[in-house]
């Protein structure tokens, strides 16, 4: 009995029980843990190498969705420019592995750190814009990142770079390395986001999320929390970009800095459920499944996604997870719930 | 001489950006909505004009008479059908809806017109120029600049002096109080969007007559329009005009240094303005 | 006299908080009714519901004999209901004159236009090109009333005209009320200022926690009754039947 924390409020100590979580989160957490264990074991007897490579994409999408939701769903920051850090992470990991010579897992982590560091000064520029203008501002920054990358000597111009650090490593080892790295990072990012949201920073952000008056009066503190969220989420996008790069073995400015990634992130989070930890995971799985099934339809597939996203925003603003759970179940409980006394 | 020429060409280019941007400014000014489908709508207008020219043999300029009302109607419908309902769920929702629209629009265009680059032919006009002591100013670019200024002056006058314009500004100040004046807020918003998208359509046709465009060209349009708005100062149409001109000059001067740096120079000027003068060059003049 | 406004047992709620419980009232054409009550009694809620900003969950509102309970606020203005809201809600970026012109948006015909409004509120004439945001409280209140009059209402709803104003300014603004009623406009005022309410009104109705606790002709109710009803203390006098 450790997951559901039971608190006793000072005043009405005898009547009310304030609980976080409860059996649904235990059960849900158990199922998730089982899935992770299965995924860890699966490459050895279920999946083909092609599947394994595909799954890395899913893990990267989970990271992207989770971190985009961290910004938009909790921090109130809608970015349409996280491809800046996806690209920086992708190029960064190749430079760190090939030029600096770091081992791949270390290079991936370092690329994430580099992206978080890049996000800090960027935030001071972008935080002068609010709401939708912040959104487009992030896109301009992403375009600058792309154009600068194209012009920098040694970054391969318009055609990009290939990863050479894996040369001489046999295919199975390479695929397994990337797979486990991605799995571990996806789990770590989800857990870290959850813990961040349970911390003082997160609780503060959730508390002001729907209360703009309180948000305005807490201006400075909110700004600081938002900056933290932005930097952390950008680090996450960098990790995802690095994974995409080591999985695909090459990067180009057109693909890594593509606004398409933003479309994916928005679809994942909006369809799954904005402002929940579970939503982006669910959204990423749905998005990934649809992508595998409907990829052949090309543009129609994207048109359908756009239409679904609009419909969800208008008709089910809490997303599919919100519809399914109806606010009653949380695998990752953030709020406390008051239970009336039992008769 | 090359540099003077670059600056002048930048001014002319800036006219196009200002024309593209004023609708973005208007929608934001009245409703606080940032319409991410702005660029796609401009490109859609260009495709519609191209289609009309090809199907009916209509003279290029005449297409405006059809394209502008059609897109204004589309704008009205988008506001009533999508943005108004989205506004009820808070500020985030219209933004997400407009992003969904942008994705749908770009891909639909690609499905219908393929990904190839197109251009609306304007015959000799595209090459004719006035000679100004060694500097050649494109006649078409001059027309675009004049149209941009006319549109902005017209919008400004409309907002300041007409019954509907006043009602729009009142709705922007206090939507609930506006309904107490007999103003239908949803209709007013839709009218504002219709006007804005009408100007975007005009800008899109001009764009299509001056540049090669493709379904994804809307991305750049949106970014440039946005930069013009922010450089000029949020909520000011004169600012938007100035912002467009500054952006145009930045791009042509940048390209003069190295053709690869044109767009980048525009972005950098935008970031510098954001850093040094976040309220923009001409913040909050008269309207919206 | 025929009833211009009939509010018939309406319940109004904010989310799950019920602010009005079965309120009924009638205002005859040409009369002035004052609704009074302590803070939070539900006066503004009542006016907003009559104006159409809130929908009753039960009951009916009839205007000139027609059920308007489902009519949106902007259409009620066109039928002749105008509300001067609590807090005035002037359009800050518009000038006084533009505020007034916006008031005439519905283009209803009647005695009120820029000239007659400036006559009724001479202080506005001098400030006609000043922006709403730069007006004093009294000037804002006069603009708000003038703006409502520009829609040529048959029924004018005034919510706490005196709020936050100095007594001389209040007197100044109330001076216009006879001019307004003389033009045939029916007025429903909400006031905290009892003296003011009892002076201008033909009848008063007192609310307490969303219910009517007293109603009668302004000349008949005693101050003591009103005070008792207002604070919900022992209201034996004149309330024996309840
Ligand atoms: N927007 C709202 N949401 C929730 N409750 C509200 C809202 N507006 C008013 N209330 C509640 O409804 C009740 C009646 O409020 P109302 O504003 O009608 O009172 P009032 O009589 O006008 O008071 P005052 O004299 O202070 O203006 C109050 O308890 C108030 O707290
Ligand atoms: Mg009140």
How far, in Å, is the centroid of ligand 1 from the Cα of C22?
Answer: 16
Among A232, A103, A228, A120, residue whose Cα is nearest residue A178: A103
CA distances from A209 to A21, A323, B91, C208 (A): 21, 20, 12, 35
Whole-complex ipTM:
0.91
Q: Residue with the nearest Cα to atom 2 of ligand 1?
A: C14
Cβ-proximal residues to C188 (8 Å cutoff; 6+ apart), any chain: C5, C27, C32, C33, C34, C35, C47, C50, C155, C156, C157, C158
Helices (H) and strands (E) in chain A, counts: 14, 5
C45 lines ligand 1 (CB under 6 A): yes
Say how far apart CA B267 and CA A190 lie, in whole Å.
34
Given a cut of 80, whether residue B215 has pLDDT beyond it is yes
Among B49, B182, B184, residue whose Cα is nearest residue B113: B49
Tokens of B132: 């100004």
For the residues of A108-132, what is the DSSP string, one character each? HHHHHHHHHHHHHHHHHHHTTS-HH
Cβ-proximal residues to A43 (8 Å cutoff; 6+ apart), any chain: A52, A175, A176, A179
Contact A249, A142 (CB under 8 A): no
Given a cut of 80, whether residue A216 has pLDDT beyond it is no
Say how far apart CA A98 and CA A92 lie, in whole Å.
10
Q: Give how far B88 is from chain A: nearest CA, Å.
A: 9
Which 133-172 residues of chain B touch chain C by CB within 8 A? 163, 166-167, 169-170, 172
pLDDT band at B284 (very low <50, low <70, confident <90, very high): low
How are beta strands C211-217 and C3-14 bridged, if at all? unpaired
Q: Residue with the nearest Cα to atom 5 of ligand 1?
A: C14
Residue A335 pLDDT: 58
Residue A107 pLDDT: 95
pLDDT band at A205 (very low <50, low <70, confident <90, very high): confident
Q: The whole model's pTM is what?
A: 0.88
C43 lines ligand 1 (CB under 6 A): yes
Q: Please, is C2 exposed, middle or buried when counting C-beta atoms within 10 Å of its C-beta (0-12, 13-18, 19+)?
A: exposed
Tokens 């409980």 sit on residue: A333
Residue A198 pLDDT: 84
Per-residue model confidence as pLDDT tens digits over A188-197: 999 999 998 8
Per-residue model confidence as pLDDT tens digits over C94-123: 999 999 999 999 999 999 999 999 999 998
Query: Which chains contact B through at least 3 pairs of Cβ atoms less than 8 Å apart?
Result: A, C
Per-residue model confidence as pLDDT tens digits over B22-73: 999 999 889 988 899 999 999 999 999 999 999 999 999 999 999 999 999 9
Note whether C53 contacts B170, CB cutoff 8 Å.
no
Given a cut of 50, whether residue A288 has pLDDT beyond it is yes
Given a cut of 60, whether residue A291 has pLDDT beyond it is yes
Q: Give how far B179 is from chain C: nearest CA, Å.
A: 5
Query: Average of pLDDT values for B120-148?
Result: 87
Per-residue model confidence as pLDDT tens digits over A130-163: 777 788 889 999 999 999 999 899 898 888 899 8
Note whether A140 contacts B227, CB cutoff 8 Å.
yes
Residue A18 pLDDT: 52
Note whether B185 contacts C74, CB cutoff 8 Å.
yes
Note whether A136 contacts B222, CB cutoff 8 Å.
yes
Given a cut of 80, whether residue B283 has pLDDT beyond it is no
What are the DSSP E strand ranges found in C3-104?
A: 3-14, 17-28, 32-37, 58-63, 66-67, 81-84
Give the residue from B160, B181, B236 with the most C CB atoms within 10 Å of its CB, the best one to mutate. Answer: B181
Given a cut of 70, whether residue C239 has pLDDT beyond it is no
Tokens of C187: 């007025």
Average pLDDT, chain C: 90
How are beta strands C155-159 and C81-84 bridged, if at all? parallel
Given a cut of 70, whether residue C236 has pLDDT beyond it is no
Task: Name the residue facing B34 among A136, A147, A302 (closest C-beta).
Answer: A136
Tokens of A80: 């349409």
Residue C242 pLDDT: 37
Segments making up each domain of chain A, as ranges? 51-259
Given a cut of 70, whether residue A2 has pLDDT beyond it is no
Give the residue from B182, B184, B286, B287 with the most C CB atoms within 10 Å of its CB, the best one to mutate. Answer: B182
Note whether C74 contacts B167, CB cutoff 8 Å.
no
Given a cut of 60, whether residue B286 has pLDDT beyond it is no
For the residues of B76-145, what is the DSSP string, one character each? HHHIIIIIHHHHTT-SHHHHHHHHHHHHHHHHHHHHHH-S--B----GGGGT-EEEETTEEEEHHHHHHH
Residue ranges and CATH numbers for the domains of chain C are 3-231 (3.40.50.300)
Per-residue model confidence as pLDDT tens digits over C154-213: 999 999 998 888 888 998 888 899 999 999 899 999 988 788 888 889 999 999 998 988
pLDDT band at A20 (very low <50, low <70, confident <90, very high): low
Residue A29 pLDDT: 77
Residue A215 pLDDT: 58
Contact C167, C179 (CB under 8 A): no
Instruction: Inform me whether the C-beta atom of residue B224 falls under 8 Å from chain A C-beta atoms.
Output: no
Q: Residue with the nearest Cα to atom 29 of ligand 1?
A: C40
Tokens of C46: 């009542």
Residue B206 pLDDT: 96
Given a cut of 90, whether residue B131 has pLDDT beyond it is no
Instruction: Inform me whether the C-beta atom of residue C23 falls under 8 Å from chain B C-beta atoms.
Output: no
Size of interface B-C (CB pairs under 8 A): 73
Q: Which residues in chain B touch residue A266, judged by CB atoms under 8 angstroms apart?
A: 96, 99-100
Give the residue from B29, B161, B177, B284 with the most C CB atoms within 10 Å of its CB, the best one to mutate. Answer: B177
pLDDT band at B285 (very low <50, low <70, confident <90, very high): very low
Residue A321 pLDDT: 87
Residue A13 pLDDT: 41
């Amino acid at each position: 009995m450790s997951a559901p924390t039971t608190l006793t409020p000072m005043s009405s100590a005898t009547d009310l029980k304030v609980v976080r979580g409860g059996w649904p989160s235990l059960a849900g957490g158990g199922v998730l843990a089982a899935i992770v264990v299965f995924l860890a074991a699966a490459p050895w007897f279920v999946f083909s190498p092609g599947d394994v490579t595909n799954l890395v994409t899913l893990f990267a999408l989970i990271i992207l969705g989770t971190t985009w939701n961290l910004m938009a769903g909790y921090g109130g920051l809608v970015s349409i420019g996280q491809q800046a850090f996806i690209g920086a992470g992708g190029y960064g990991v190749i430079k760190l592995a090939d030029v600096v010579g770091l081992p791949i897992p270390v290079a991936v982590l370092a690329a994430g750190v580099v992206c978080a560091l890049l996000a800090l000064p960027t935030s001071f520029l972008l935080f002068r814009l609010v709401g939708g203008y912040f959104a487009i501002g992030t896109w301009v920054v992403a375009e600058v990142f792309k154009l600068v990358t194209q012009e920098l000597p040694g970054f391969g111009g318009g055609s990009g770079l290939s990863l050479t650090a894996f040369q001489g490593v046999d295919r199975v080892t390479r695929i397994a390395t990337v797979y486990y790295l991605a799995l571990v990072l996806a789990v770590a990012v989800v857990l870290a986001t959850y813990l961040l949201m349970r911390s003082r920073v997160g609780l503060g952000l959730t508390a002001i999320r729907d209360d703009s008056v309180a948000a305005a009066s807490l201006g400075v503190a909110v700004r600081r929390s938002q900056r933290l969220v932005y930097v952390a989420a950008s680090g996450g996008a960098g990790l995802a970009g690095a994974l995409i790069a080591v999985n695909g073995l090459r990067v180009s400015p057109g693909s890594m800095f593509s606004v398409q990634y933003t479309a994916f992130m928005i679809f994942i989070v909006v369809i799954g459920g904005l402002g929940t930890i579970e939503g982006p995971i669910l959204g990423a799985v749905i998005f990934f499944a649809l992508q595998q099934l409907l990829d052949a339809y090309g543009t129609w597939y994207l048109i359908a996604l756009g239409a679904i996203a609009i419909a969800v925003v208008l008709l089910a603003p809490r997303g599919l997870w919100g519809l399914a759970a109806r606010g009653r179940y949380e695998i990752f409980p953030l709020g406390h719930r008051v239970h009336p006394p039992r008769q | 001489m090359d540099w003077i020429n670059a600056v002048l060409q930048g001014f002319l280019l800036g006219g196009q950006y200002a024309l593209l941007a004023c609708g973005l400014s208007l929608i934001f000014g009245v409703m606080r909505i940032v319409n991410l489908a702005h660029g796609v709508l401009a490109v859609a207008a260009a495709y519609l004009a191209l289609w009309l020219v090809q199907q009916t043999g209509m003279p290029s300029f005449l297409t405006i008479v059809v394209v502008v009302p059609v897109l204004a109607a589309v704008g009205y419908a988008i506001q009533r059908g999508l943005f108004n309902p989205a506004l009820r769920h808070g500020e985030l929702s219209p933004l997400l809806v407009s992003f969904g629209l942008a994705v749908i629009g770009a891909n639909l265009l690609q499905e219908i017109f393929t990904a190839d680059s197109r251009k609306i032919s304007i015959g000799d006009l595209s090459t004719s120029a006035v000679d100004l002591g060694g500097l050649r100013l494109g006649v078409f670019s001059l027309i675009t600049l004049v149209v941009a200024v006319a549109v902005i002056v017209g919008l400004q006058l409309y907002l300041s002096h007409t019954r509907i314009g006043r009602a729009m500004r009142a709705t922007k100040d206090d939507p609930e109080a506006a309904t107490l004046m007999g103003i239908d807020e949803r209709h007013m918003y839709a009218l504002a969007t219709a006007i804005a998208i009408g100007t975007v359509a005009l800008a899109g046709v001009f764009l299509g007559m001056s540049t090669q465009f493709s379904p994804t060209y809307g991305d750049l349009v949106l970014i440039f329009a946005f930069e013009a708005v922010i450089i000029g100062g949020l909520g000011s149409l004169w600012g938007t005009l100035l912002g467009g001109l500054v952006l145009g000059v930045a791009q042509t001067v940048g390209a003069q240094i190295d053709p690869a740096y044109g767009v980048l120079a525009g972005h950098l000027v935008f970031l510098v303005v954001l850093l040094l003068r976040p309220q923009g060059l001409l913040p909050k003049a008269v309207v919206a | 006299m025929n009833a211009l406004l009939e509010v018939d047992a309406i319940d109004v709620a904010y989310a799950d908080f019920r602010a009005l419980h079965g309120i009924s009232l009638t205002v005859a054409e040409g009369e002035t009714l004052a609704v009074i009550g302590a803070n939070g009694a539900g006066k503004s809620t009542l006016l907003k519901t009559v104006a159409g900003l809130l929908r009753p969950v039960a009951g009916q509102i009839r205007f000139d004999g027609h059920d308007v309970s489902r009519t949106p606020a902007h259409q009620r203005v066109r039928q002749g209901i105008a509300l001067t809201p609590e807090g005035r809600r002037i359009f800050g970026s518009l000038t006084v004159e533009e505020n007034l012109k916006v008031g005439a948006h519905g283009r209803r015909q009647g005695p009120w236009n820029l000239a007659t409004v400036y006559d009724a509120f001479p202080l506005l004439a001098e400030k006609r090109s000043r922006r709403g945001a730069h007006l004093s409280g009294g000037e804002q209140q006069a603009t708000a009333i003038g703006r409502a009059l520009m829609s040529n209402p048959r029924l004018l709803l005034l919510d706490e005209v005196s709020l936050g104003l100095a007594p001389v300014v209040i007197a100044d603004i109330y001076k216009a009320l006879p001019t307004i009623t003389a033009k045939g406009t029916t007025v429903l005022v909400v006031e905290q200022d009892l003296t003011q309410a009892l002076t201008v009104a033909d009848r008063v109705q007192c609310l307490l926690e969303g219910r009517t606790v007293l109603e009668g002709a302004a000349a008949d109710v005693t101050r003591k009754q009103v005070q008792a009803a207002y604070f919900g203390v022992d209201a034996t006098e004149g309330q024996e039947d309840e």
